[in-house]
Structure 1
Amino acid sequence: MKRVITYIIICVAWAIGARAESVMMIGDSHVAGKTYPHTVDSLLSCRVDSCRFNYFGINGASFATFCKPENLDSIYAYRPDILLVHLGTNDSYCRRFNQETFLQNLTTFYQSVHDSLPEVKMVFVTPFVNKFKRTIRTKKKRRRTVWDVNQNTRTCSELIGRFCDEHPSDTRLVDHNATHGMEFLSNGLIFRDFVHLTVPGYILLGTQVVEELINLPNLFSVTAEQ
């Protein structure tokens, strides 16, 4: 009898595990900083039935960074059902944003993941607005630091959006730049480097992203009742 009960428990555990959707978030320092992905993990566990979550962030990462074999292997090893991709900040943080190079790196990344994990759903989260620092000279020849809004984040986000439109079968878009792009700057939720967020800022970012993920059609198999 004990063997039968043990067997039933194993079967039930296997069935639950088999239904669990695996979600992996990858990205740059926003993800590596932990607060943002931990918020996403916590909220998804409340909103999605049987969800397994993991994340992998690299400081200074761009799409080119995740085209490297060792970083792609980290994605393949987890074999996610859903891959959340929060990249674009470092790609667009430059005075002369090369759109062609960016699209090449984005395409290479997408194709590499698609070839190895053809069933994975890729969700691209666009970067929020940040600022550039530059130094100017005053009339008295003194140096002064000024901060300019980085318009490249909008261009980068538009390119990601078009790419998703061209690959509708296995990509989704959370265009955070369009919906909440200036919110962190306007509400003082960005760090003094004008690139990273404060802890409350990252918690808000995670909350906003999860809400948009839940509203994406046919992304999760089962969502919990609210």
Structure 2
Amino acid sequence: MTSSINYIVSLYISLWASFSHQHLAKLPNTPVIERKYPFVRYDYNQIFTPKYGKALNNFHHVWDEYLQGKRKRMSILHIGDSHLQADMFSNQVRKHFKYQPHMGVAGRGFVFPHKMAKSNDPHTYKTSYSGKWSGSWATNFAKTDSWGVGGMAATTRDQNARFTVNPNRGNNNYQITRVKVFYNTKDRASFQVKLVTPYEIISPQRIVADGYVEFLLKRPVGQVTIAMDKNRPEQRSFTLEGVSLENDKPGVVYHSAGANSATVKSFLRSPRVANHVKSLQPDLVIISLGTNDAYTHRFNSKQFKRDYSILLSRIKRAAPKASILLTTPGDCLYRGRFNYSNNKASRMIFELADEMDCAVWDTYTVMGGLGVIRKWRRYKLSSYDYVHLSGPGYRLQGDLLYQALIQNYRMHALKMVDMN
């Protein structure tokens, strides 16, 4: 009897050791960042997790299961302002996941054809359209519309209108087999939509009450065209809230959505945010807000915190299993002078993280703190406005965030192996 028990125990230990070795072998590598800028706080580049370090536990569990082959997909949603609309910062993080061994690519994720709303498209994908479209923005407090995580909407009354999205600019090679189009599917006055590819024209296979239709393609394509489909006389218009381009391969889908001048308040007045978050099913939500909130000579930090807590509550209800990572606003100038409000906003974000069980990546401190934006500009890492970054600056920011995420996950994985 004793020998049987000993055999079972040794078999368990052997199996666990084998599993641990396989899991460790698949851990993502921590990227090496050349420390060539003396003002960047590389030593401070980490994820802060209050509440005994459990804020990212759910995301870590998903990551574990993905590497173990128990799950096919990891979904990350990154929302914010103009720093996200440009998609240089977020795309750098996306690229790191894309080229990491054992990760894979499950699609390009959420996109919005900003040109249709008379705004600037990011450099990472190309859009075109026909027909007359008008745009609206959640930052325009004189209007209301069905805005979601993208903070914009584009409306047409032309039944022959259409638009095309191509995520494969540069070296990208995203394969599309699943497309979600976000709009008010309950509105009987709305046109329906159909999807046009080089191989077929199809109607949606799913119409979801939360506000999107889904197309499943028989053959992978590199771009898609969405056309209006009027089939009832009462249908008079169509308002687009966004599109998600995905596939069914194992991998990571890194959704990013941002709007110029977006604030916490503009997200609060966007009625479709919770619907979009629920539909995108993120395992991790990254929120990069605060720059525009604090870009004023009368910043009310307490009101900012109250508003942010409401937004976080809505997101938590929409995605109760998702972990949430908040990033603090980076340093900038306000009318040519130091902006002390960004540091105040950062303190409020840390307080919220502690109270609402979120993690924090402290962009403000990692950049170098108050006034460091002048040095970023001197090294051509900042734009001329001393608010936005340059291409190299955003890519550095993406490198730093990804490094912090990987280091945090590796610490979790190594700890789990040691405990067992």
Provide TM-score, normalisation by structure 1: 0.78
> Aligned residue for 1:151?
340
- Check if 1:174 corresponds to 2:361: yes
Q: Aligned to 1:53, which of 254, 269, 275?
A: 254
The alpha-carbon distance between structure 1 residues 93 and 158, as it changes in their structure 2 partners (threshold 3 A), is same
SS of the residue 2:384 aligns to: coil
1:98-137 equivalences under 5 Å are 98-133=300-335
CA drift of 1:72 comes to 3.2
Are the aligned partners of 1:36 and 1:203 in contact in 2 as well (CA < 8 Å)?
yes
Structure 2 counterpart of 1:66: 267
Q: Which residue of 2 aligns with 1:141?
A: none
The 3 A distance-change label for structure 1 pair 195 and 109 is same
- Per the TM alignment, residue 199 of structure 1 is displaced from its structure 2 partner at its CA by 0.7
1:22 alignment partner, one of 75, 79, 101: 75
State the SS of the aligned residue for 2:264: coil
Distance apart, 1:181 and its partner CA: 4.0
Distance 2:286 2:280 in 1: 13
Contact 1:64-1:105 within 8 A present in 2 as well = yes
CA RMSD of aligned residues (A): 2.4
Q: Does the CA-based 8 Å contact 2:287-2:327 persist in structure 1? A: yes
In the alignment, is the contact (CA less than 8 A) between 1:88 and 1:126 conserved in 2?
yes
Q: Is the 8 A contact 1:65 1:71 kept in 2?
A: no
Report the Cα distance in structure 1 between the residues aligned to 2:274 and 2:81, rounded to whole angstroms.
14
Conservation of the 8 A alpha-carbon contact between 1:174 and 1:213: no
Whose helix fraction is larger, Structure 1's or Structure 2's?
A: 1
Structure whose residues are more often strand by fraction: 2
Deviation at 1:125, TM superposition (A): 0.8
Q: CA deviation at 1:63?
A: 1.2
How far does residue 122 in structure 1 lie from its aligned partner after superposition?
Answer: 0.7
Partners of 1:70 and 1:219 in 2: how far apart? 36
Q: State the 1:70 CA deviation.
A: 2.1
- The one-letter amino acid of 1:162's match is E
Alignment partners' CA distance in 2, 1:123 and 1:66: 17
The partner residue of 1:163 within 348, 352, 368 is 352
Residue-by-residue CA offset, 1:157-190 (whole Å, 9 max, x unaligned): 111011111223xx11101112224454313221
Distance in 1 separating the partners of 2:310 and 2:363:
23
Aligned residue identity for 1:52: V
Distance across 2 between alignment mates of 1:45 and 1:126: 25
- Partners of 1:153 and 1:46 in 2: CA distance: 34
Deviation at 1:17, TM superposition (A): 9.2
CA separation in 1, counterparts of 2:411 and 2:79? 17
Larger Rg: 2
**2:288 touches 2:328 (CA, 8 Å); kept in 1?**
yes
**Is contact 2:361–2:401 with CA below 8 Å preserved after alignment?**
yes
After TM superposition, the runs of 4+ consecutive aligned structure 1 residues lying more than 6 A away are: 218-222
d(CA) in 2 for partners of 1:219 and 1:80?
A: 22
Distance 2:301 2:264 in 1: 13
Distance in 2 (CA, whole Å) between partners of 1:55 and 1:219 is 26
- Residue 89 of structure 1 corresponds to 291
In 2 relative to 1, CA 76–219 (structure 1 residues): closer, same or farther, beyond 3 Å? farther
So what's the TM-score if we normalise by structure 2?
A: 0.43
Query: Which amino acid is 1:154 matched to?
Result: N
Matching residue of 1:193: 385
Contact 2:274 2:318 in 1 (8 A): no
How many residues align? The count is 193
Equivalent residue letter for 2:282: P
Percentage identity across paired residues of the two chains: 24
**Distance 1:83-1:31 versus aligned 2 partners, 3 A rule:** same
Q: Which residue of 1 aligns with 2:400?
A: 208
Following superposition of structure 1 onto structure 2, how do residues 7-46 of structure 1 map, counting pairs within 5 Å? 18-46=71-99
Q: SS of 1:202's equivalent?
A: helix
- Aligned-partner SS, 2:348: helix
Cα distance in 2 for residues equivalent to 1:40 and 1:180: 17
Pairwise CA distance, 1:16: 6.3
* C-alpha contact 2:294 2:341 (8 A) present in aligned 1: yes
